[in-house]
Amino acid sequence: MVAGWLSRPHVAEWWDTHAPDAVEEEFGPCVDGTDPTRVFVCRLDGTPVGLVQMYRLDDNPDYARAIGLAQAAGMDLFVSDPERCGHGLGPDIILATLELIWAAYPEVTCAMAGPSVRNGRSIRAFEKSGFTAVGPVAVPDEVDEEMVLVRARPTGRTGPTAA
Ligand SMILES: CC(C)(COP(=O)(O)OP(=O)(O)OC[C@H]1O[C@@H](n2cnc3c(N)ncnc32)[C@H](O)[C@@H]1OP(=O)(O)O)[C@@H](O)C(=O)NCCC(=O)NCCS
């Protein structure tokens, strides 16, 4: 299912994981627990409608150095059906993922995302979700610069109440 989603043009334009083998390579270790990145299929009333992954930048030091953030967690997402895009589902997924980030990573003080500077729709979805764009950053091995967007942990939200 995820391999099919990744081959859809509206997703493939922004995600570089395409062939079925690459899907196993990219997400298999996350599912097996050998890569600390956490990946989720998002469901709406039981129907799978997208994918989101979240990760601590401290687990990805090269990326953290390029972005210039510490004690932060990043997220990437897509909405699987093009006809579901533009109706607020992306911000719903972003806000739900933020709650997971605050709960799963108690030391993290801010959440971030780094969509391509060309991906105006994604940048707007994060801004609608309370993120602030802090500027474009060049990341090694990425063709486009990334627009770094950040959102601070809400005051008083210090960590998980349940595992
Ligand atoms: C990016 C994505 C997650 C956003 O989710 P969504 O549900 O479509 O988001 P929204 O419903 O908030 O709609 C996007 C907003 O961007 C605006 N927008 C659309 N195209 C835009 C553009 N080129 N430039 C600026 N804003 C744009 C829309 O008008 C809307 O804002 P509004 O509600 O103020 O009118 C989703 O569109 C998606 O999965 N796209 C394909 C894959 C992708 O780009 N993933 C992100 C990789 S980081």
Using a 6 Å cutoff on CB, does residue 82 contact ligand 1?
no
What's the pLDDT tens digit per position in 1-39? 999 999 999 999 999 877 777 899 999 999 999 999 999
pLDDT tens digit sequence for 104-158: 999 999 999 999 999 999 999 999 999 999 999 999 888 999 999 999 999 866 5
Distance 128 CA to ligand 1 centre (A): 10
pTM score, two decimals? 0.94
> What is the tens place of the pLDDT at every residue in 32-58?
999 999 999 999 999 999 999 999 999
Tens-digit pLDDT profile for residues 72-84: 999 999 999 999 9
Of the residues 18, 97, 121, which should be mutated to test ligand 1's pocket, given the most ligand atoms within 8 Å of the CB? 121
Q: What percentage of the chain's residues is helix, strand, coil (to nearest 5)?
A: 35, 25, 35
Q: What is the atom index within ligand 1 of the atom nearest the CA of 15?
A: 47
- What is the whole-number distance in angstroms between the Cα of residue 121 and the centre of ligand 1? 3
Residue having the nearest C-alpha atom to atom 17 of ligand 1: 121
**β-pairing, 132-137 with 110-113?**
unpaired
To 5 degrees, how large is the angle CA 152–CA 156–CA 157? 65
pLDDT at 162 over 50: no
Which segment of 2-6, 91-95, 157-161 scores lowest on mean pLDDT? 157-161
HSE, CB side, 13 Å, CA atoms: give it for residue 135.
Answer: 6
Contact 8, 14 (CB under 8 A): no
